[in-house]
């Protein structure tokens, strides 16, 4: 199986983040990894994973949807991330093991 891609969406305000991630999850075969987080000063972020094309399409959709309701600070896709990034970004394996 090919290495999964990571998609990051950061917005100002939770409402536009939730709407953006909802649109992302409905638009492509991706999974929400871990909880949506409040970074501080109104900034919120969420992480999705899936194959590279699906994550790219989902993040594009999420950014478009979120920008209609508020401010998108960052929308980024990391294709085939290094294993060292697992320390910083939650993985599906970790979140599935907690359940």
Q: Is the alpha carbon torsion for 16, 44, 96, 76 positive or negative?
A: positive
Q: What is the pLDDT of residues 71-92, one digit of tens each?
A: 999 999 999 988 888 788 776 5
What is the domain range of residue 38? 5-98
3-class DSSP state for residue 42?
A: coil
Kindly report the pTM of this predicted structure: 0.84
Number of domains in the chain: 1
Domain CATH for 56: 3.30.70.1710
Q: What is the pLDDT of residues 55-76, one digit of tens each?
A: 999 999 999 999 999 999 999 9
């Amino acid at each position: 199986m090919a290495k999964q891609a990571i998609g990051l969406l950061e917005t100002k305000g939770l409402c536009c983040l939730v709407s953006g991630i909802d649109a992302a999850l409905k638009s492509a075969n991706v999974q929400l990894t871990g909880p949506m987080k409040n970074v501080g000063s109104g900034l919120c972020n969420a992480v999705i994973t899936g194959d590279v094309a699906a994550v790219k399409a989902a993040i594009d959709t999420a950014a478009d949807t979120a920008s209609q309701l508020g401010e998108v600070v960052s929308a980024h896709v990391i294709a085939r991330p290094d294993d060292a990034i697992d320390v910083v970004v939650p993985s599906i394996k970790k979140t599935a093991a907690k359940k």
